[in-house]
Structure 1
Amino acid sequence: MRMPYRTDMCRYQIVAAALPLLLTGWLVIDKSEALTTFGKTITDKPQEGPKAPPARPCSRQAECAGISSSSCVRTHYDPVTRCLCGDNSPPLNGQCEAQAKSLYHACANSDECNEGLICLMPNITGTAPPHLRVHAPQDKICLCDTEAGFNEKDHTCNDGDILKTSLFAIITVTCIRKILTH
C-alpha cells in the first residue's frame, strides 16, 4: 500500500532544499565563466574584436568642445582625464552616440544624466580632486544625487546600488521562507 502524502512531502522537501542552493549558485557564478556538463571550467577566452583607440587626453573641458556630446572626464580605470562620450567610451570618428551621461560629464540639466545622478555645479576649490578641476566654476556636471541616497566612492555612485541589491535579497529570502512554511 502506497502513502501518497508522505511521498509528496518528500518531493516538496527536496525542492525546498534545492531552491536556495540554485539561487545561491546563480548569484555566485560569474557570468563570464561557463561550465561544461562535467563541471570543468572552459578556459578558452572569447576572441575580442579590434579595440577602439583611446580617447585623446585633456586638461580642460574646453579641449573637448570639438567632439559633440563629449566631456573631459576621468574614469575609475584610467588615471588620465580624456574626452569621452557620456557612457565613458571613446568617441568614434569624432562623434558620440551615447545619450545619457555618467558621473562627471558636462550637462545642461538632470535629464541628461544617468539614474542616480543630478546636474549641478561642483564645488571646485583648491582642495577639489584634480579630475574636477578640468571644469570651469560655472560648468554643470552630473554628480551623485545624495538626496536620493547615492554617494560617491571611487568614481562611482554606489549606495543606491547597495540598497537595490539589499531589497532584492530581502524579497528573495521572504519568498523562500513563504515557500518553505506552506
Structure 2
Amino acid sequence: MRVLWKIEMWCRKQAAAAILPLLLVGWLTGESSQALTTFGKSNTQPPKEVAPTAPPARPCSRQAECAGISSSSCVRTHYDSVTRCLCGDNSPPLNGQCEAQSKLLYHVCANSDECNDGLVCGAPNITGNAQPHLRVLTPQDKICLCDTESGYREREYTCSDAEILKTSIFAIIFVTSLRKILFY
C-alpha cells in the first residue's frame, strides 16, 4: 500500500513538473487564461481580419533628409538594418505626419521632456569610431539617450529597464518557491 502511495505521489510531481513550465510561459506572455481554456479544443472561430501593414518609412542617410516630416528622426532600429525617417515611437509616418508625442532612443529632441522615461536629451558621442546609426547626425544635434545617471544602460538599441529586472527576479523567486512546495 505504501509503495502505491509513493508511486502516486511521484506521478503527481512529474505531472506538475510537466505543466509548470507551460503555465509559467503562459503567465509571462499574458496568455495563460486563453492557453488553459483552449487546450485540447479545435479552433472553431473564423480567422481574424489582418489589418494592412503600413508601408516602410523612407530611407535616409542624414537627419536633414527627414526635415520635411514633422517630429520624425533619421534612426535605425533593432529590427531594420536601414536608417529611416521614423516617428518618435519608431513607427513610419502616415501621410507625412507623426502622431507620437514622446520619443524613443536616438530620436532628435530639444529637451528631455520630449523623451520617454529612462531617456534624456543630450549630444551623442560622434567620434571617428561612432556606430553607423549615429553617423546620420551632426555634432549640433541632440538626441534621446539612455539616462546613465539613473542606472539605465544602452543595449541593442534599447535602454535597460528596472521593471524587466524586477519581473525577472520575481519570476525566479516564484518558480523557486513553487518547486519547493511541489517537490518537498
Distance 1:132 1:45 in 2: 42
The structure-2 alpha-carbon separation of the partners of 1:153 and 1:42, relative to structure 1 and needing over 3 Å to count, comes to: farther
Partner of 2:27: 27
Deviation at 1:131, TM superposition (A): 0.4
Give the partner amino acid of 2:50: E
Distance 1:151 1:41 in 2: 45
Distance 2:99 2:56 in 1: 16
Distance 1:139 1:47 in 2: 42
Moved more, 79-88 or 27-36: 27-36
Give the partner amino acid of 1:140: K
Contact map agreement 2:109 2:143 (CA 8 A) in 1: yes
Match of 2:135 among 124, 133, 136: 133
Give the partner amino acid of 1:131: H
Structure 1, residues 71-127: CA drift from partner, whole Å, max 9, x if none?
A: 000000000000000000000011000000000000001110011111110110110
Partner of 1:90: 92
Within a 5 Å distance, the mapping from 1:1-182 to structure 2 comes to 24=24, 26-29=26-29, 31=31, 34-35=34-35, 36-40=37-41, 42=43, 46-166=48-168, 168-169=170-171
Moved more, 23-32 or 154-163: 23-32
Equivalent residue pairs, number: 161
Distance 1:156 1:96 in 2: 21
Deviation at 1:147, TM superposition (A): 1.5
- Structure 1: gaps (5+ residues): 1-16, 177-182
Task: Compute the TM-score of the two structures, normalised by the length of structure 2.
Answer: 0.72
Distance 1:148 1:27 in 2: 30
Moved more, 71-80 or 149-158: 149-158
The structure-2 alpha-carbon separation of the partners of 1:159 and 1:167, relative to structure 1 and needing over 3 Å to count, comes to: same
Distance 1:137 1:32 in 2: 48
Identity within the alignment, %? 72
Contact map agreement 2:123 2:140 (CA 8 A) in 1: yes
Say which SS state the counterpart of residue 165 (structure 2) adopts: helix
Contact map agreement 2:66 2:73 (CA 8 A) in 1: yes
Say which SS state the counterpart of residue 123 (structure 1) adopts: coil
Structure 1, residues 107-165: CA drift from partner, whole Å, max 9, x if none?
A: 00111001111111011011011100101001100011111121111111124343332
